Amino acid sequence: MKRLNFYPLFIFLFFTSQILEAQERRFGAGIALGANYSQLNETNQFGAYYGLNTGLIGTMTLSKRLQLGIEMLYSMNGDYVQPFSFPETEYRNVLLHHLEVPIHIDYLLKKPDKQWFYKFDASLGAAYATLLAFHAEDIAGTNLTERIAYQDRYSIMVQGGLTYYVSKHIGLNTRITVPVTEKGRLYTLSARLLFLI
């Protein structure tokens, strides 16, 4: 009876595991969950507003200190797009629903230190945002949505942020977003909890 040679199978499984391990180190994914803060207007006519900032994160390691990141986010009440026309009144309730797609480079400022924290990095990049839907009311509760018009519903923005990782899988991120294609738009601040796989 002919003996079966299992060496090729072992070699195949060994190299496959090494490739998968390398890919696992090179590519990552996760979820972001947090909030936005913005004023929506230079004159503070709309007041200060908060909204949800959540979505999916994808990363690719470029070197020991550099990482490429891309995100697909639902972003509420970011100061991203300028209305073409809107009633001059005091607003009580404004809801702006955006799809936001940031792309950024992350630079590792401190290598992992398990005694105090895992790692700390800074990011710089750009983002595309489009306004999906909106709703607005004045202080009397009157619905003004139909009286607000947008000429363009998209924006290109620059972003910068810092992320403090308490472990390999959990990070605390802060980010500032400034539109570059919309005049009169202010910054939007975001604070998020990152869960990485």
What pLDDT score does 138 carry?
85
Q: Which two tokens stand for residue 191?
A: 């604070």
Number of H helices, E strands in the chain: 1, 8
Which of 167, 174, 70 is closest to 122 using CA atoms? 174
Domains for the chain: give ranges and CATH numbers.
26-196 (2.40.160.20)
Cβ-in-10-Å burial (0-12, 13-18, 19+) of 172 comes to middle
What pLDDT score does 53 carry?
97
What pLDDT score does 34 carry?
98
Write down the pTM of the prediction. Answer: 0.79
What pLDDT score does 101 carry?
96
State how far the alpha carbon of 194 is from the alpha carbons of 25, 33, 53, 65, 163, in Å: 17, 7, 11, 19, 9
Cα separation, 132 vs 46, in Å, equals 20
Neighbour count for residue 151 (Cβ, 10 Å): 9
Q: Which two tokens stand for residue 77?
A: 């009440």
What pLDDT score does 19 carry?
46
State how far the alpha carbon of 105 is from the alpha carbons of 5, 81, 98, in Å: 48, 24, 22
pLDDT tens string, the chain, 197 residues long: the values are 444 455 554 555 555 454 444 454 588 999 999 999 988 765 555 567 899 999 999 999 898 889 999 999 999 988 888 888 888 888 878 899 999 999 999 999 877 666 666 788 999 999 999 999 999 888 888 998 888 888 888 899 999 999 999 888 999 999 999 999 867 677 899 999 999 98
